[in-house]
Amino acid sequence: MDDPRLSERNSAGRDASSVVEVDASRRQVLLAGLAAMGGGLTLAGCSGAREPDVATPPRAVAQTRPVAPPPVDPRPTLPTVEPVVRILCEEVKPVGTVGAKIAVRSTGRWIRLQDRSGAGGTVLGGPIECTLIDGSWRIVPTGGVPFRIPAGAISVSVPPGESGPLSTRRGASWTPLGDAVDLVPTADQKGFDLVARLPMEVYLPGVLAKELYSNWSPATFRAQAVAARSFATCEAAHWRNRRHYDVTTGPDTQAWSGLVASGLAATATGETRGILLAWDRRVVPAYYSSCCGGLPAEARDAISQNPANEIAPLAGRSDRESCCDWASTYRWSVTIRTQLLGRRLAEWGRREGVADLAGFGAVRSMEVSAVGRHGRPVRFRVEDAGGRHVELRAERGRRALAFATEGFSGRLYSAFIEPRVAGDVVILDGRGHGHGVGLCQHGAEAMARRGRDAESILRRYYPGATLETGWT
C-alpha cells in the first residue's frame, strides 16, 4: 500500500432499473458531468458484508405456485454488549528450514498458552518463542524446558492478575497487540496467521489514526469513529462463525495502525463510545472512501448486491454539491498503450479465471456500457483488435485496469472513469479515490472546516440512518 492512510472498502438482490444502458445522449451527460468537476490531498476507505447463506425455498404445494422467501437482511441487530474484533495482523511464513516463528511477551512476566477452546492451558515464563515446524508447534519458554504440541490453533494471553499488553516480535522490533492473540496454522501447516483479539473500543483508535490525517478536524474524527464502529460491528457479526478473523489491517477492510491510546483518534473514540449508525433497527455497514469524486456511489452497484446494501443510507445521491474537490485524487488520468493494455488485461484474465480476457490482444475500443441511476459507471465494455470483447462490472474492471496499468503513467484510483482510445493509447480520465460509497473522508473534512458537526456529516453521507447507542 502507498500512503498508509489510503484504503477502500467492499455483498445479493438489485433493482435492474438502477442501471441505465449508455446511449449516445447519456454518454454526453456523463462526459459533461465529468468535465464539470474540478482538483488537491489523499486518503482512505472500507470492505463489507459478504454474500449471505442461501435459504432453501419452500416446497411447492399441490396446485399452488412456489413462493420465494422474502430477502433476508443479514445486518446485525443493535448489540448491547461491546463486540470483540479479531484482526488478521500478519501471515507468518516459514523461513528456510527454520519454520514459521514468532516471539510473544507481555508487560508482566507470565503468559498463558491455551488451545482455542480457552479451556485449561499452561502458564509460562515470557517471552516465549512459538515455531510451527514439521507438523507441530515447538514452544520455548524463558527459563523453562522447550516442548512440542500438535499443530492446531493456539491462543496466547495475559493471565488474570498479570499486566499486559502482549507484544509480538518478528525480527528486531516488538509490536503491542493487546491482551490476547491467536496463532492459526494455514491449511498446509507450514505457516500461520497472527490474529489479535481486541474489544471494539480498544481497536477503533488504531483505525482512525491510520484512516485520517492527524491534523484533521475533531468532527471528522468523530464521524469516522461512528462509521468505522458500525462497519466493524457488521464485519464481526458476519464472520464470527465463518472464519478465524473479522478484519485485516489493510484496505480490503479498514486500515489499522495497531494500539493507539492517546491523541485525537482515542479522544474521538471515547466521545462516541458505543454509538452506531442504524436503519430499521439494524446496524448499517457504513462503508467509506477517501474521495467520492463529487458523485457518491450506490453500495449495490459499487460493493455488491447483498441485501445488506439494499437500504436507503447506502443508496447514493444525485446531488453534485462539491465536497472533495480539494483532494489530490479528485481528478486524475492514466495513459497506457493499447497493445500493452491488452497484454496486461490478458495476464489478469488468466490469473483471475476470466476466459474472455485471457486471450486478449491490443485494445481497439473501451467504453462505459452502463451507468447507475446517479451517473457513475456500472459496467465497462472492452474490445480488442481481433473483435474479442468482454463486459466487466465497474469495480471488477477497476481491479483489472489497476493491475494492467500498475507501474506505468500513474495510478488508477477508482472505477469512476471515462475511457477513450486515441491512436495507439488508451486514456482513462478519472475522479475520486475508492469505491465512493458512504462517507467521503475529504468531503467530511471540508464540512467540518465549515463548522459542521459529526452528526451533520453522518446525516449527509448516510441519509435516513439514525444514531443509536449499542453499549455503554
Whole-angstrom Cα distance, residue 427 to residue 405? Answer: 11
Residue 384 lies in a domain: yes
Bridge partner list, 332: 430
Whole-angstrom Cα distance, residue 82 to residue 67? Answer: 39
Residue 396 lies in a domain: yes
Q: Give the contacts of 201 (CB within 8 A, at least 6 positions apart).
A: 82, 269, 270, 273, 274
> Considering only CA atoms, which of 341, 332, 334 is closest in space to residue 400?
341
Residue 74 lies in a domain: no
> Considering only CA atoms, which of 182, 172, 169, 200 is closest in space to residue 137?
182
Identify the domain containing residue 424 by its residue range: 331-431
> Considering only CA atoms, which of 67, 73, 163 is closest in space to residue 109?
163
The answer to whether the beta carbons of residues 130 and 143 sit under 8 Å apart is no
> Considering only CA atoms, which of 279, 295, 268 is closest in space to residue 77?
279
Terminal-to-terminal C-alpha distance of the chain: 35
* In 136-246, alpha helices (H): 200-211, 218-239
Whole-angstrom Cα distance, residue 77 to residue 94? Answer: 41
Return the ∠ at Cα 285 (arms to 69 and 229), rounded to 5°: 140
Whole-angstrom Cα distance, residue 382 to residue 397? Answer: 10
Whole-angstrom Cα distance, residue 263 to residue 456? Answer: 23
Whole-angstrom Cα distance, residue 150 to residue 116? Answer: 13
* In 240-362, alpha helices (H): 264-271, 299-302, 338-352, 355-358
State the pLDDT at residue 63.
53
Bridge partner list, 182: 155, 195
Element (H, E) at 318: none
**Cell 411447492 maps to which residue?**
60
Residue 161 lies in a domain: yes
Q: Which amino acid, 109?
A: R
State the pLDDT at residue 258.
95
Residues with pLDDT less than 50, the chain: 1-20, 24-62
State the pLDDT at residue 170.
82
- Torsion angle defined by CA atoms of residues 90, 91, 96 and 97, in that order, rounded to the nearest 10 degrees: 100
Domain final residue, candidates 170, 190, 210 = 190
Sequence-distant contacts of 449-456: CB under 8 A, at least 24 apart: 449/217, 452/219, 453/219, 453/222, 454/219, 454/220, 454/222, 454/223, 454/226, 454/272
Whole-angstrom Cα distance, residue 297 to residue 329? Answer: 16
Give the side-chain half-sphere CA count within 13 A for 168.
Answer: 24
Whole-angstrom Cα distance, residue 290 to residue 436? Answer: 8
Whole-angstrom Cα distance, residue 48 to residue 225? Answer: 16
The answer to whether the beta carbons of residues 394 and 414 sit under 8 Å apart is no
Residue 144 lies in a domain: yes
DSSP string covering 402-416: HHHHTTSSS----S-
Residue 137 lies in a domain: yes
Residue 420 lies in a domain: yes
Q: How many domains does the chain have?
A: 2
Domain final residue, candidates 158, 190, 222 = 190
Residue 413 lies in a domain: yes
Spell out a b/e string for 341-364, using b for 16 or more CB atoms within 10 Å of the CB, else e. Answer: bbbbbbbbbeeeebeebbebbbbb
The answer to whether the beta carbons of residues 151 and 137 sit under 8 Å apart is yes
Domain final residue, candidates 190, 220, 244 = 190
